[in-house]
Amino acid sequence: MLVTIPDVLKPQEVAHIRRVLEETDWVDGRVTAGDQAGTVKRNLQVPVDSPVARELGEIVLRALGTNSGFMTAALPLRVLPPMFNRYDEGMTFGAHVDGSIRAVPGSGQRLRTDVSSTLFLTPPEDYDGGELVVHDTYGTHTVKLPAGHMVVYPATSMHSVTPVTRGSRWASFFWTQSMIRDDWRRHMLYELDKSIMSIRARMADDDLAVVGLTAHYHNLIRHWAET
């Protein structure tokens, strides 16, 4: 399931993050890549343990905490601290699948990567190339979103970033361990929740049909959730 979520960050939040990133140091993005991904990864990242990464990551996490689209699509249990990358001209990331387990910096904890997220920080007109390409059972999806918009997709999906041929593409990226491990079950719950919201827009919240569907939604989460 691939879902685009608009306006995760306000324009002033994007502008602030950009200003801070323009003054920070970047390192080779391969420092956080696995053996296979490291052979096809050509980008830059903010060091994950830097004060800048922590400060800007908190801005992203606060925004996610109030975003109903992210909550509905990911059903998050734990979110890895957001990281930040950039693709300058000529940089790319070849086809790969994200590692299944990530360490949470400074905590000794580990997180299962169920959902991958890319939060775009650069307006699409400012660069050429740099599209996120996600391959799943329904085909190939090419994603290039306005600054402040985000895409979430199963971390099990093979994906890549096409070469940047003009400008520079900046983004925040992170992984989520979902309460619902299975992507198909998350997909069903997402579609059910969207249907409930559509029905609620036309009917009273105390209508028995609304109450019944909402009950089924929450009972399915109770049945499937891992905490």
Nearest to 56, CA basis, from 33, 85, 29: 85
Question: Residue 149 pLDDT more than 90?
Answer: yes
Distance CA 99, CA 156 (A): 9
Nearest to 121, CA basis, from 81, 92, 87, 73: 87
* DSSP state letter for 192: H
pLDDT of residue 136: 85
pLDDT of residue 38: 75
User: What mean pLDDT comes out for the span 168-180?
Assistant: 98
Domains of the chain with CATH codes: 3-178 (2.60.120.620), 183-224 (4.10.860)
User: What mean pLDDT comes out for the span 159-182?
Assistant: 98
- CB of 78 closer than 8 Å to CB of 103: no
> Residues with Cβ < 8 Å from 159, sequence gap 6 or more?
95, 96, 97, 116, 132, 133, 134, 135, 153
pLDDT digits 0-9 by tens, 88-131: 999 999 999 999 999 998 888 999 999 999 999 999 999 999 99
